[in-house]
Each structure stands twice: as C-alpha cells, then as structure tokens.
Structure 1
Amino acid sequence: MNETPLLLSVEDRVATLTFNRPDKLNAMNARMMDALLEALEHTQTDEEVRVVVITGAGKAFMAGADITEYAQQSRADFNRFQSRGRSVYAAIEGHRCPVIAAVNGYAFGGGLEIALACDLVLATDGARAGLPEIQLNLIPGGGGTQRLPKKIGLNRALEMLVTGEPVEVRTLADWGLVNHVFAKETFAAEVRDFAQKIAQREPAPVRMLKQLAHAAWGGVDAAHLAMETQLLEGYYLSEAGQRQIQAFYQRSLQRQARS
C-alpha cells in the first residue's frame, strides 16, 4: 500500500508520467488511475510544461487492469473505475500539450487504450500491443472499440478485437498507429530527443495545431463511447460476466502460487 503508483517529473519543459508498478507489469488499479488523472490535471495548469510523456517502469508500458482488484469490484466501484478511466482519456485528448505514449514494453488492454488516446506514439523494438479482453469473454471499456478502428481501419481493428491477439509495434507502425520504433538500448534517449523537438517550439501554435489536427480527425463519438460503457457494464455485472471474471481471477491466483 506504500507504493507510489505513478511518478511525475518535469525536466526541460517535458513532464514524464511513469506507471510505477513494475512487479505487476504496471497493471492499472484505482490508485494508479486517480494518480494519473491528478498528474494530467496538474500538467494542464503548469505553464512550464510543454510536452507530456507517458511511459512505464520495468518491462511493461501497462498490462491492462489489475485483475485482482477488478474481479472484486462492486457495482459502485466498477462504475467509478470506468468513470475515472473516461476522465483520463478525455484529459489526454483535451490536454493543451501534445501527449506522447512512450511504449517501453507490453501495452495490453487499458495500456493500449491510453496509447490510443495519446497524440503521438513511440515504441521500443520488440514491444507488443493488443486488446485481449475477448480472451476473458469481455470487451474493452476504455474507448478501444472506438479509437482503434479510427486509427488503423475497421478490418484490422476488428481482427485485433475479436481475436485478442497482440501485434508487434513495427506492424502497428506500418498501420499508422505508432510514429517511430526505436532500439531498446537507445529508447529513453530517443524519446527525450523527440519530446525536446516539440518542447522547443512556441506553445501557442503547437496547441493550435493539436486542436486543428483533432478537429480534422473528428475524434470519437460520445454516443458510441456511451454504448461501449453500457454494453460492458451490462455484461460485466451479469452472472455470465462475473463467472468469466472469477474464473480468470482464480487462474491468476494459481499462477501466482506456482511462481
């Protein structure tokens, strides 16, 4: 309980937000979600910050939701977690600064959904990303069903969604989701240099360009996001949905006991 789930540092006008649960592959829990939203709100008002970088400690960017917490949520806890998640994605897309996802490793579930909400995506060679929720007989709940088709096209997105299989970041770069792939050995330095290219520009026109590019892209439809939430909530809280979650939770406990 004493862990700091998210680290925030600011250097040379670049704010770096680091998921800090490496022993859990940076799986998202309620404390990390709250810390991420707080950090985004802080950097939104800190005029020193011109670029925001989101990355992970250890070998993962983020391996989705923390199933040990997710499996035990009440309806109220579930609704709050989903609501805070929607606030996080909105805070990323609506941030005055460009937000860069520095995908240093696995980006599954909510990890990929955070990257999808970011303005730019940099990745380390060999990293993989995916939306594996279907393997739990669930669906994504962080806007992944809406942002992924708009970023890589319907057919590719639907294949990722219905198979749940991960995709190499070099393939995602070919599909237009990832901007650049860098070697592991130089990844941190490459991310720093890339962020500095933007931080050196005047912030006002950069902000305008982000707004204009998002306007051209069209964003995601609020009604469609609400549909995703409604469908996930209905199934998650159903008897069948809870049975799937609990089965996966028990398998996770067994794996932990063997390790």
Structure 2
Amino acid sequence: MSDWETIRLEFDSDDVATLTVDRPDRLNALNVDTLEAIEDALEEAEREGARALVLTGAGDDAFVAGADIGYMRELSTPEAQAYAELGHRVADKIERFPAPVIAAINGYAFGGGCELALAADLRVASEDAVVGQTEIDLGIVPGWGGSQRLPRLVGDEIARRLIFFGERIDAQDAHEHGLVGEVVASDQLDDHVADLAADLAAKPAYALRTAKELLNQAHETGQEAGLRYERRAWSGLFGTHDQREGMAAFLDDREPDWE
C-alpha cells in the first residue's frame, strides 16, 4: 500500500476498501495534495480488486468541509482551471469506479465535499451531518460537478435553491430532498455502512459493475441509446461464470459461489 499523509486506504476481509480523508484539524478540506492522493488511492483500490468502496472523513465533525479556500483565494484563471480539472478527475473516478461507492457522510459536507458525495453511488448520512453547495457565498459556483449531478438527484427547483442561496441543510432535509438515501444515528453510521458495503461486496462483481455502468449511462445519453447499451450489456453477461453459477444456484436452491 502507498503511504499518504492526508488520506488512508484500508481493506477488510470482504474486499471492501475504505478511503478516509484524514485532515480532521482542517475539517478534511481538500487541498491539491489531498486530491492527488485520493486519485492515487482510487486507482490503487481498483488495482487491488475492491468489490465495494466506502468514502468518508476522519474525526467527528466533517466528511469533507470543502475545498482549500486559502489556496483558491489568489488563483489566476488558468490556475483555477487546473484546480477544477483536478477536482473533476477525482469526482469522475469516484463515479466511474468499477464497484459501488458509498459516501458515509459523518459531518459537514460543503462545496467540494458535497460534490464528492454526489459522485458516489449511495449516500448515507449521520443524523448530525450538514450538507450544501455553499460556493455562492465565496463569489463562485460549484466547480467539481455539483451543478450537473445535484439536479439529477434532487430535481431542478431544489438544486437551484440550494446553489443560488448556498443553503446548508441538515441530514433530514437532505433525505427529504433525495440528496442522501438514508439517515442513521451518528454512533451507528460506521457499522451500518460496513454492513451495506459487505452486502454489495458479496454480489457478483462483474454484474454489479455492469449495472453501475448502465445506471451511469442513463445520465449521459438519450433513452434510445441507453436501451441499446442495456441490450448489449445484458447479453454480454451470458456465458460468464457468475451468470452460469447464479442461475444454476437458483435452480438448485442453494447459495451461489461468485467468482
């Protein structure tokens, strides 16, 4: 495993990887080094064959409180473009990671932190979490995908309100808006997310990867193109070990032995 100063990447016996942003003294804010480390860690988790990935923040206060405002303050337009491209690469790698990604939102998730959570497949918040696209009060707008991913989750009107006003909303409101999938007690978050990740890791990995690609495709193409993609992906699973094993196990009334 690589040695990073601001993140941790850990694996458990179920092939679940946990990527923790570890800057609790800065509320896990994302500077360039941390973003680059997350990018490296995602690549390493993929190489190691993670069957599910949990993304979270260290400490009790923040998931990721946002980008590094001190760094951004004096950026030129070309420098800001490079920073935006780095943030987009990281968010895209989360969205396209070949296994489900769960954002365990254990505290503040503002700006860039909210955007990383939006790129995950599932979002689980502790009851103490507070989330928001707060960039407007810094004189900027979401720059790592929030303007595109947020409306897909919560609808156009809610997304406009959250981005225009820079609102910080609590976990229950985030759940009501569809920004997070569920809210759990703070002291139960880690165990609950670990159970979810273990359940996902126990599924057939190739089929799950294909399902994720199909769901992502629904946001990237029209329905006709998406349906063509689905037909090819569905038929392409036939002849794989997991398809043969899954159907045999069903007919034999036993648990499948996935690859």
The TM-score with structure 1 as length reference comes to 0.80
* Counterparts of 2:108 and 2:87, CA distance in 1: 19
- Structure 1, residues 47-103: CA drift from partner, whole Å, max 9, x if none? 2x1001100001100111111212243445433221111111111111111111110
In structure 2, what is the equivalent of residue 127 of structure 1?
129
Give the count of matched residue pairs: 218
In structure 2, what is the equivalent of residue 98 of structure 1?
100
* Counterparts of 2:203 and 2:186, CA distance in 1: 27
Give the unaligned 5+ runs of structure 1: 222-259
Find the residue that maps to 2:10 and give its secondary structure. Answer: strand
In structure 2, what is the equivalent of residue 155 of structure 1?
157
Q: Structure 1 residues 220 and 28 mapped into 2: Cα distance closer, same or farther (>3 Å)? A: farther
For the Cα contact (< 8 Å) 1:14–1:195, is it kept in 2? yes
The TM-score with structure 2 as length reference comes to 0.80
Q: Structure 1 residues 3 and 214 mapped into 2: Cα distance closer, same or farther (>3 Å)? A: closer
Across the aligned residues of Structure 1 and Structure 2, the Cα RMSD in angstroms comes to 1.8
- Structure 1, residues 136-195: CA drift from partner, whole Å, max 9, x if none? 121111111111111100100100011101111222212222112110111111111111
In structure 2, what is the equivalent of residue 9 of structure 1?
10
For the Cα contact (< 8 Å) 1:63–1:108, is it kept in 2? yes
In structure 1, what is the equivalent of residue 114 of structure 2?
112
Q: Structure 1 residues 6 and 220 mapped into 2: Cα distance closer, same or farther (>3 Å)? A: farther
In structure 1, what is the equivalent of residue 215 of structure 2?
213
In structure 2, what is the equivalent of residue 42 of structure 1?
44
* Counterparts of 1:220 and 1:83, CA distance in 2: 22
Identity %: 39
For the Cα contact (< 8 Å) 1:147–1:220, is it kept in 2? no
Amino acid across the alignment from 1:104:
N
For the Cα contact (< 8 Å) 2:4–2:37, is it kept in 1? no
For the Cα contact (< 8 Å) 1:6–1:17, is it kept in 2? yes
Amino acid across the alignment from 2:166:
G
Q: Structure 1 residues 123 and 220 mapped into 2: Cα distance closer, same or farther (>3 Å)? A: farther
In structure 2, what is the equivalent of residue 233 of structure 1?
none
1:25 to 6, 24, 27: 27
Q: Which has the larger radius of gyration?
A: 2
In structure 1, what is the equivalent of residue 52 of structure 2?
51
Equivalent positions of 1:108-257 (< 5 A) are 108-216=110-218, 218-219=219-220
- Structure 1, residues 227-256: CA drift from partner, whole Å, max 9, x if none? xxxxxxxxxxxxxxxxxxxxxxxxxxxxxx
Give the unaligned 5+ runs of structure 2: 223-259
